[in-house]
Structures are given as structure tokens and as C-alpha cells.
């Protein structure tokens, strides 16, 4: 399979209420590096194994949560074609000029999904100053810190009308849907969506409050690193949510925690290899306990009711 | 309130909770717990009587300034300075809720 079109989620901006404490969490505990600060005080961060300028932005706000995310696309030509398709689908688009609010990023085209989330697309972005080596490369340049997050991996968004959001991702963005969960009356309750071999680049859960964030996911190397993450959580009293455990959905090995502003983080390893020609995996709502928490076999009550 | 703790009276309930001095209030409540960061809003309660202080920001998505002045708080963001009387929502009094997953 050639990976083209919409390539990956490459940028997410989060609204946080305590910038200093939250920055310590992402830098010292998750192990991201601070890249720069913007004139309006936002902090740009990246994981050690990412090539691009930055991937996570923390923005001080009086409400915590999702601000926007952006996907890297293959070319400027594709970006123009994509905008036409977005408008044909019925969503209005907006434009952010290059090197404006996001240092190092090219122009972005954005839209708002029916779920209330702003999603943007960009084709060009500067290389990070400190990035993985490419000539006879070592596995890392400087030793990874803390939980050793390798990259911003995915996000789970809660909002109304996810059947439409899923259709947008498939028909407009060209992504595919390896796994879904349906209600007893056949309505979509949750959808895991990807544009690559990862089991998900983003996921949606049906929810009545728009623009809600369930979690931001970061990739770890393996199951041992999940244990390392748990050690860091215990040592530094990071608020634990769920795990270590394994999802049957995506098959990812995982642990969840809360950042100091009340945003749920997942650090995650493994997962199956997704292919667009494989049959879709389908979950019944009543089996979500097993689907989400494979070892425990039952839902943790706060997991799907507490969101930010 | 004594050296070790304080009492939390829950309106319309026949039980009394004991809170540990210095803990954020939510730690000692028997309701569904969330982020402990003032962001998710699940621990929103009404403090109807008693002294307390707010130790961290509460998301304006969940607590408006006039609510804050009236004693409506996120219980993960406050520490008690006396015995408290609080009011919980019907859903919170169920102790746990599966919400949209019921």
C-alpha cells in the first residue's frame, strides 16, 4: 500500500489552565522537548522521534480541552484539491497563512466537523532543528526522557453526529475505518479511523456535547515502556486513569493518565497492522468492556463518561 | 473539624463522610471521580455551608464566575477549612454512573 493523500495527524493544540504545571508534565514526564514559544505565550513541543518542527502546542486558557488538530497531506496540489472536496461535502473552509500562528508550518486549510472539532490540513512544514538522524542513524540523538514518548499518535474525539464525521473522513479525506462499535439499534457509537497501517489516527465516540476531547495518544516503543510510564506516574503522583492493560479494539497496550489541566493522555504501544482491504471489525455496544479493557473484561465507569 | 479531619454532611442523605485535612474535597467524596485537574467538570458540587478555599483554576466550561461566588465548585479544586454541608446531583448520589453507556 502506498501511503499518500492525508498522511498523518501531525499537530494538536491543547487548551490548558496551568501552563507551568502542564508543561512540566509534557516535558519532564512524557518526555517531549520544548521547541519554541509564540509571541502570545503558547508553547510548542515535539517528541524525540518526530522530524517536523513541532507537534503539540499548549495554549493558556480558562477552559481545558481540544483547540484544533492538523493533518499532514502529501502536497500543495493535494491541499487545493482537498479544499474543493471539503466544500463539496458541505463544510465551509478557512485559511491560516504560513508561519503565522504556528511557527515553521506552511499554510493550513481548516474546517469544522459536525462534531464541533476544528480539523486542519497542511502540506509543508519545516524540519525540526533537533530531529532523528538520517545518515547511518543512531536510534536516538540524546537519550529519551521520562516516559520516552516517540510521537503524537492519535486522538479520540467525542461529539454529536459521528456517522457524518466518519463519512467525511472516508469520502473526503480518503481514510478508512478498521474498527467500529454499534448500538443495539444499529447506530454508530464509536469509530476508529486511519490513513496508514496504524489501527487509528483518530477515533470518534457519539456524545451530545460538541468539541469534546477524550484523550491525546502518544506512541511508546513496547510493553516495557508502558511499565516505565506507570513507574513515572507513581513516582511523580501523576493522576492515574486506567491501566496498564490492553485494548482488544486496536490491540494496543496502554496506560491512561490525566495531565494537570484535566486532559486525558494515553501512552500506547503495539496494535495490529491495518490494511484498507481487510474486513472491518465490528463491536456490539454490550461488548465494549472487553473491547476497551481486554484483561479486565468490563468497563471502568469513568472512562467513557468523564471527558474534557 | 479536628486535627485529623472534618465532617462532610451530604444534603438529603443519611450518612456523614469524614474528610482528611488538607486533601482536596473530592478525594473524600463517594462520587465518580475524574481528572483532578479542574478540567473535566464531573465533580461539580454545591457547597451550601462551611468554609473552604480554592487551590486551582476551575474550567470556565463548567463553573461560571457567579456559580463560583455562590459556592458551586469543582470539588477537586477546593480544600475544606471547616466541616462542610454539600449538595450532590441525583446522578452523583448513585455513586457511579455509566452515563451514555447505561
Kindly report, residue by residue over B54-78, the tens digit of the pLDDT.
999 999 999 999 999 999 999 999 9
Q: Are β-strands A281-284 and A176-182 bridged in parallel, bridged antiparallel, or unpaired? A: parallel
Tens-place pLDDT, residues A236-294: 999 999 999 999 999 999 999 999 999 999 999 999 999 999 999 999 999 999 999 99
More confidently predicted of B30 and B75 = B75
Contacts of A258 in chain B (CB under 8 A): 34-37, 39
Contact B37 A263 (CB under 8 A): yes
Instruction: Name the E strands within chain A.
Output: 6-16, 33-37, 43-46, 56-60, 65-73, 93-96, 108-112, 118-122, 151-159, 176-182, 188-194, 202-206, 212-219, 245-246, 252-258, 264-270, 281-284
Average pLDDT of every residue of chain B: 90
Rounded CA separation A106/A122 (Å): 6
The answer to whether A256 is a known catalytic residue is: yes
What confidence score (pLDDT) does residue B1 get? 81
Rounded CA separation B29/B95 (Å): 9
Q: Is residue B13 part of a domain?
A: yes
CATH number at residue B65: 3.10.20.30
Q: Is residue B45 part of a domain?
A: yes
Domains in chain B, number? 1
Burial B14-27 (b: 16+ CB within 10 A, else e): eeebebeeeebbbe
What is chain B's Cα-based Rg? 13
What is chain A's Cα-based Rg? 18
Phi/psi-derived region of residue B90, left when phi > 0, alpha when psi is between -120 and 50, beta in every other case: alpha
Cell numbers found for residue A264: 486525558
Q: What ipTM does this complex have?
A: 0.91
Identify the residue among B26, B38, B39 best suited for mutation to test binding to A, counting A beta carbons within 10 A and taking the highest. B39
From A208, A114, A205, A101, select the one nearest A168 (Cα to Cα). Answer: A114
Contact A305 B98 (CB under 8 A): yes
Q: Is residue B100 part of a domain?
A: no
Q: Is residue B26 part of a domain?
A: yes
Intervals of chain A under pLDDT 70? 1
Rounded CA separation A275/A11 (Å): 24
Rounded CA separation B102/A183 (Å): 11
| Sign of the dihedral through C-alpha B93, B94, B98, B102 | negative
pLDDT class of B102 with cuts at 50, 70, 90: very low
Contact B99 A65 (CB under 8 A): no
Mean of pLDDT values over B17-27: 95
From B1, B49, B95, B41, select the one nearest A262 (Cα to Cα). Answer: B41
Q: Is residue B102 part of a domain?
A: no
Contacts of A262 in chain B (CB under 8 A): 34-40, 59
pTM for this entry = 0.95
Alpha carbon distances (Å) from A109 to A96, A106, A203, A208, A252: 6, 10, 21, 27, 31
Mean of pLDDT values over B32-52: 97
Report the chain B residue with the minimal C-alpha distance to residue A205.
B100
- List the Cα angle A250/A254/A256 in 5-degree steps: 120
What confidence score (pLDDT) does residue B95 get? 60
Q: How many CB pairs under 8 A join A and B?
A: 86
Q: Is residue B24 part of a domain?
A: yes
Q: Is residue B32 part of a domain?
A: yes
What confidence score (pLDDT) does residue B94 get? 74
A262 contact partners, CB below 8 Å, separation of at least 6: A17, A64, A308, B34, B35, B36, B37, B38, B39, B40, B59
pLDDT class of B97 with cuts at 50, 70, 90: very low
- On whether the CB atoms of residues A82 and A121 are closer than 8 A, the answer is yes
What confidence score (pLDDT) does residue B15 get? 86
pLDDT above 90: residue B99: no
Q: Is residue B34 part of a domain?
A: yes
Phi/psi-derived region of residue A237, left when phi > 0, alpha when psi is between -120 and 50, beta in every other case: left
A235 contact partners, CB below 8 Å, separation of at least 6: none
Residue B20 sits in which domain range? 5-95
What confidence score (pLDDT) does residue A2 get? 73
What confidence score (pLDDT) does residue A3 get? 85
Amino acid at each position: 500500500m502506498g501511503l499518500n493523500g492525508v498522511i498523518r495527524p501531525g499537530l494538536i493544540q491543547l487548551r490548558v489552565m496551568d501552563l507551568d504545571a502542564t508543561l512540566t508534565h509534557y516535558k519532564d514526564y512524557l518526555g517531549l522537548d520544548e521547541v519554541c514559544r509564540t509571541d502570545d505565550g503558547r508553547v510548542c513541543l515535539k517528541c524525540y522521534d518526530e522530524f517536523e518542527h513541532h507537534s503539540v502546542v499548549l495554549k493558556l486558557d480558562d477552559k481545558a480541552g481540544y483547540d484544533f488538530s492538523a493533518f499532514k497531506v502529501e502536497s500543495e496540489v493535494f491541499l487545493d484539491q482537498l479544499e474543493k472536496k471539503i466544500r463539496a461535502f458541505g463544510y465551509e473552509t478557512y485559511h491560516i497563512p504560513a508561519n503565522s500562528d504556528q511557527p515553521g508550518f506552511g499554510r493550513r486549510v481548516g474546517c469544522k466537523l459536525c462534531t464541533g472539532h476544528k480539523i486542519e490540513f497542511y502540506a509543508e512544514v519545516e524540519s525540526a532543528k533537533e530531529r532523528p538522524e538520517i545518515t547511518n542513524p543512531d536510534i536516538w540523538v540524546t537519550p529519551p526522557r521520562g516516559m520516552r514518548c516517540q510521537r503524537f499518535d492519535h486522538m479520540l474525539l467525542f461529539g454529536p453526529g459521528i456517522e457524518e464525521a466518519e463519512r467525511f473522513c472516508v469520502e473526503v479525506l480518503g481514510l478508512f475505518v478498521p474498527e467500529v462499535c454499534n448500538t443495539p439499534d444499529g447506530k454508530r457509537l464509536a469509530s476508529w479511523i486511519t490513513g496508514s497501517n496504524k489501527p487509528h489516527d483518530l477515533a470518534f465516540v457519539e456524545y451530545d456535547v460538541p468539541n469534546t476531547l477524550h484523550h491525546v495518544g502518544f506512541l511508546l516503543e513496547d510493553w516495557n515502556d508502558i511499565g516505565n510510564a506507570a513507574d513515572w506516574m507513581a513516582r511523580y503522583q501523576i493522576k492515574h486513569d486506567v491501566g496498564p492493560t490492553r485494548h482488544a479494539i486496536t490491540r494496543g497496550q496502554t496506560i491512561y493518565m490525566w495531565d494537570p489541566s484535566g486532559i486525558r493522555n494515553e501512552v500506547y504501544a503495539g496494535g495490529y497492522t491495518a490494511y484498507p482491504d481487510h474486513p472491518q471489525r465490528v463491536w456490539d455496544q454490550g461488548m465494549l468492556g472487553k473491547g476497551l479493557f481486554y484483561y479486565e473484561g468490563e468497563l471502568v465507569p469513568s472512562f467513557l463518561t468523564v471527558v474534557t | 473539624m479536628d486535627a485529623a479531619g472534618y465532617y462532610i454532611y451530604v444534603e438529603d442523605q443519611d450518612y456523614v463522610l469524614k474528610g482528611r485535612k488538607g486533601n482536596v474535597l473530592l478525594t473524600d467524596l463517594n462520587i465518580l471521580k475524574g481528572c483532578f485537574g479542574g478540567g473535566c467538570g464531573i465533580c461539580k458540587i454545591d457547597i451550601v455551608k462551611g468554609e473552604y478555599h480554592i487551590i486551582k483554576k476551575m474550567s470556565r466550561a463548567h463553573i461560571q464566575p457567579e456559580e463560583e461566588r455562590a459556592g458551586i465548585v469543582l470539588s477537586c479544586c477546593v480544600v475544606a477549612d471547616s466541616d462542610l454541608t454539600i449538595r450532590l446531583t441525583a446522578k452523583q448520589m448513585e455513586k457511579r454512573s455509566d452515563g451514555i453507556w447505561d
